[in-house]
Amino acid sequence: MKGIGVDIVDLERLDINNLHFVKRILSDREFQLYHQMKSDQRRLEFLGGRFAGKEAYLKAYHKGIGGINFQDIEILNDESGCPFLNDENAQISISHEKKYAVAFVIVEK
């Protein structure tokens, strides 16, 4: 299946102090990275980017929320800082601007 997906998140709507919510969005490895971040702003951007990326991934696969568990979708960064998904058939781009995070996913196969 081929598909594209895009999502945007208003960072002001995310509660980085609600660890139950954060753990519902992030995989275990993403959660470890989240806790290593030095500032609340960086944690907010990270969480927002992962949330938008996972929503965009679900849209690219034509799945609704709940179609795939968010913890099963993992977005990490390579050595140069570029994000990648734990799906070799998918490509992702994430961007942040002031109070928004946006992600775009292409599924190639």
Q: What is the pLDDT of residue 49?
A: 98
The structural domain count of the chain equals: 1
Q: What is the pLDDT of residue 63?
A: 79
Residues marked active site are found at: 59, 96
Q: Tens-of-pLDDT digits for all 109 residues of the chain?
A: 789 999 999 999 999 999 999 999 999 999 999 999 999 999 999 999 999 999 999 999 987 666 789 999 999 999 999 999 999 999 999 999 999 999 999 999 7
Residue 87 sits in a domain whose CATH number is: 3.90.470.20
In order, the DSSP letters of 4-67 are: EEEEEEEGGG--TT-HHHHHHHS-HHHHHHHHH-SSHHHHHHHHHHHHHHHHHHHHHTT--TTS
- Is 0.85 topped by the overall pTM? yes
- The C-alpha angle with vertex 45 and arms to 42 and 43, in degrees rounded to 5, equals 40
Query: CA-to-CA distance for 38 and 35, rounded, in angstroms?
Result: 8
Q: Which two tokens stand for residue 98?
A: 């002031």
Q: Which two tokens stand for residue 39?
A: 């500032």
Burial group, residue 91, by CB count within 10 angstroms (0-12, 13-18, 19+): middle
Q: Domain range spanning residue 75?
A: 3-107
